[in-house]
Amino acid sequence: MTSFLRYFKSKHFIMKNIAIFASGNGSNAENLIRYFAHHPTICIKLLLTNKADAYALQRAANWNIPARVFNRYELNESTRVIDMLDEYHIRYIVLAGFLWLIPDTLINRYPRRIVNIHPALLPAYGGKGMYGMNVHRAVIANGERLSGITIHEVNNEYDRGTILFQASCPILPVDTPETVSEKIHSMEQQYFPSVVEQWILSTKK
């Protein structure tokens, strides 16, 4: 029996459950769901969103992943979000296009167990308001020659947590915010799931 199977069958084995937080289209969320659909030790158990019309809800439904909507009060002032995470025995949180700042209550509950993907090479083009096309327009306006993605742990400041992974792409003179967005999205799809997998498997939490 391989060492992995011995670990898998041991009485100490615990499935590593993920909750995805998303605010919009949910393409990165679905990519994660697809990647971990048959994973032996990691499972997407729940999708949470702050927008009742987020297409991420439909993507979750397509994969039979439970999904819930919450408001700002339920995230920051009540225990509803934590209660939902507890209900599904969540051990890790992955932000996939989630735009609100994570409150201290969640950061303290999940220390170094929340990860985010950002569409720029942090620390450049990070912070409040720096998301999506806002980032790509700023990159073009400033004449940058490179952009990319950053996957980082989450703390109580926007885009300031420990960097886990970065990948870059060239910005050409003919590029527009839209073409940069396409390049970034392609890298997100390529790298995000495997980096999340490595991050989870490398921790004992």
**Per-residue pLDDT at 11 exceeds 80:** no
pLDDT digits (tens, 9 = 90+) for 133-166: 999 999 999 999 999 999 999 999 999 999 999 9
- 125 contacts: CB under 8 Å, gap ≥ 6: 135, 138, 139, 147
- The pLDDT of residue 203 is 79
pLDDT digits (tens, 9 = 90+) for 54-81: 999 999 999 999 999 999 999 999 999 9
- The pLDDT of residue 101 is 95
Tokens 């084995």: give the residue: 13
The percent of residues above 70 in pLDDT, for the chain, comes to 93
Return d(Cα 34, Cα 65) in angstroms, integer: 11
Do 154 and 99 lie in one domain? The reply is no
Q: Helix, strand or coil for residue 154?
A: coil
- The pLDDT of residue 9 is 45
Segments in the chain forming alpha helices (H)? 3-9, 27-35, 56-62, 72-76, 80-87, 104-109, 132-141, 177-201
Do 121 and 182 lie in one domain? The reply is yes
Q: Helix, strand or coil for residue 153?
A: strand
The residues annotated as belonging to the active site are: 118
- The pLDDT of residue 205 is 59
Question: In the listed set 67, 93, 110, which residue is the last one of a domain according to the structure?
Answer: 110
Name the pTM for this structure: 0.91
> What value does the mean pLDDT of the chain take?
93
Q: Are strands 146-153 and 67-69 parallel, antiparallel or unpaired?
A: unpaired
Do 23 and 88 lie in one domain? The reply is yes
Range of the domain at 9: 1-110
Tell which residue, 4, 1, 21, has the closest CA to residue 13: 4
